Structure 1
Amino acid sequence: MTKTAIVLRTPSGISGDMLLTGLARLADINAGELAALVDAIGVEALRDCVTIEPHEVNWITGWRAQIDLPHEHHHRTLATIVEIIARSGLEDAAKALATRAFRILAEAEAAVHGCTVDEVHFHEVGALDSILDTCIAAALYVRSGAQELHCSPLPLCDGTIRCEHGLLASPPPAVQEMLNGVPVYGVDDKGETVTPTALAFLKAVDARFGKWPVCEVVRSARAYGGKVFPNLPNGAMFFLVRL
């Protein structure tokens, strides 16, 4: 029996906005369809916040999400985010996937801060952009009909990351907590290659990390993030395949 799957290769890492971009391109949805998915989340501040635009790095073309969100001063608990997802107009399967991703993230944050999952207050992770990235990635993954996601081992490097908690070493603490069982390798660059939002999503879909599976490629897309790494081949490669 033929199965649909997504193959993801991450030579410069992966972030939430790259997941959104790559899955949107694989789905071949237009601006209106993307806006409708965003509106389905039901958060007014997310309306008309994202477009997927052509982008290039080192003369290699691809796509990038342009996201324009208002600054928020308040933090959100897991219960608040789960309620937003439950009340949304997303498909039930997408709601379940997005909720699972945030629960995985909350467990990592709780371990980092030495508190319970219910006591976690999301900062960057719980901000509007992470709700956007996780919910839309979940909706697009469900829409794709994929039954599996195959991902390359993840690149990690040293360096520092500045966030709400101050200056942190790379990989950030929440990523460190979620890396158990995930194949990784070191690269010659500095900074954050894998974001907590992206890794939580990959774990939520039970991504299979390793080499390419034997498959037939149906469609492909190249997604760029907001950072360019000078010593790495930039961008993530997404493939919709038949196994």
Structure 2
Amino acid sequence: MTMLYIDCGFGIAGDMFLAAAAGLGVDPAPVAEALRGAGIDVRVSAPVSRVNGFAGRRLAIDCEASQPLRHLPDIAGVIRRLRLNAEVRECAQRAFVRLAEVEAGVHGVPVDHVHFHEVGAVDTLVDVVGAFYALAELGVERTVCSPLPWFNGRVECAHGVLPLPAPATLELMRGKPVQPTDFGQEIVTPTGALIIDQVVDGFVAGPRGVVRSTATGFGTHDLGPDNRGLRLVLLDDWTGEERS
């Protein structure tokens, strides 16, 4: 069995996840190609980046055209037109429904009235679709994760200044283990929390298996000298028997 361990002690965002997946060998270009086929002109790459003395990947998304605010039916239409396998499309659709339900609950509006402001932007479509595409490409059968890092501070968004974790993020963290950190800025984004909510089968202090490969993904925010990025570890199942 192929297992993925998400080490998110220094935070997680959608772009960090896909960047780290690129470090494991997943080419993000087909995700961009599928989105272009669905009517969104975008280019995606994950060049090597060096942060605080460590190498990793950082996602680069190029989309010059201005984008409209989108509702859930608009997002669903884009996903239906993607030329990717059915499981990837179904998982992405389910994730956006979950996000719309969370946003609707936070703001006290019907699901179909939710405007996907930041989360409706092209980069989030890339992140969410890309996450499921990456898991399929890597052949991941089980995903486990470290406890989520707790953080404080304030963030400005379309709804004004919000306490951290942002309300939607906090709702997506419901039922999941957290541990304190000293970070005073957003290190778990709504998209990152959504990916955890949708793909993780369990939370563990560390993985059990034979390490196949590891990779690190960095985000766009400067988190200072303590930033080590998001680390993904791909493992093979281990029964405990000695290997010859």
TM-score by length of 1: 0.91
Shift of 1:231: 6.0
Q: Which residue of 2 aligns with 1:70?
A: 64
Does structure 1 conserve the Cα–Cα contact (< 8 Å) formed by 2:67 and 2:122?
no
Choose from 203, 206, 209 the match for 1:209.
Answer: 203
Instruction: Give per-residue Cα distances to partners, 1:205-235, cap 9 Å, x unaligned.
Output: 2441222231111111011111132263420
Structure 1 residues 231 and 58: CA distance shift in structure 2, 3 A: closer
Pick the structure with more strand per residue. Answer: 1
Query: How many angstroms apart in 2 are the aligned matches of 1:118 and 1:216?
Result: 45
| Runs of 5+ consecutive residues of structure 2 not aligned to the other structure | 238-244
Does structure 1 conserve the Cα–Cα contact (< 8 Å) formed by 2:54 and 2:228?
no
Does structure 2 conserve the Cα–Cα contact (< 8 Å) formed by 1:11 and 1:232?
no
Q: Aligned pair 1:146/2:140, yes or no?
A: yes
Query: How many angstroms apart in 2 are the aligned matches of 1:210 and 1:7?
Result: 9
Does structure 1 conserve the Cα–Cα contact (< 8 Å) formed by 2:72 and 2:100?
yes
Instruction: Give per-residue Cα distances to partners, 1:34-61, cap 9 Å, x unaligned.
Output: 32331112344443x2211111111111
Query: How many angstroms apart in 2 are the aligned matches of 1:214 and 1:16?
Result: 25
Q: Aligned pair 1:219/2:219, yes or no?
A: no
Does structure 2 conserve the Cα–Cα contact (< 8 Å) formed by 1:4 and 1:145?
yes
Shift of 1:73: 5.2
Shift of 1:102: 0.9
Q: Which residue of 1 aligns with 2:120?
A: 126
Structure 1 residues 23 and 142: CA distance shift in structure 2, 3 A: same
2:2 aligned partner, one-letter code: T
Query: How many angstroms apart in 2 are the aligned matches of 1:109 and 1:71?
Result: 26
Query: How many angstroms apart in 2 are the aligned matches of 1:36 and 1:214?
Result: 31
Query: How many angstroms apart in 2 are the aligned matches of 1:219 and 1:46?
Result: 32
Query: How many angstroms apart in 2 are the aligned matches of 1:87 and 1:45?
Result: 11
Bigger mean CA deviation after superposition, 68-77 or 14-23: 68-77
Of all paired residues, the percent bearing the same amino acid is: 35
Query: How many angstroms apart in 2 are the aligned matches of 1:86 and 1:202?
Result: 23
1:11-26 correspondence to structure 2 within 5 Å? 11-26=9-24
TM-score by length of 2: 0.91
Query: How many angstroms apart in 2 are the aligned matches of 1:53 and 1:207?
Result: 29
Query: How many angstroms apart in 2 are the aligned matches of 1:90 and 1:17?
Result: 19
1:108-123 correspondence to structure 2 within 5 Å? 108-123=102-117
Query: How many angstroms apart in 2 are the aligned matches of 1:68 and 1:186?
Result: 35
Give the ranges of 4+ consecutive aligned residues of structure 1 lying more than 4 Å apart after TM superposition.
Answer: none
Question: Secondary structure at the residue paired with 1:232?
Answer: coil
Q: Aligned pair 1:179/2:173, yes or no?
A: yes
Does structure 1 conserve the Cα–Cα contact (< 8 Å) formed by 2:67 and 2:121?
no
Instruction: Give per-residue Cα distances to partners, 1:59-87, cap 9 Å, x unaligned.
Output: 11111112222363521111111111111
**CA RMSD, aligned part only?**
1.6
Q: Which residue of 1 aligns with 2:3?
A: 5
Query: How many angstroms apart in 1 are the aligned matches of 2:152 and 2:129?
Result: 30
Q: Which residue of 2 aligns with 1:169?
A: 163
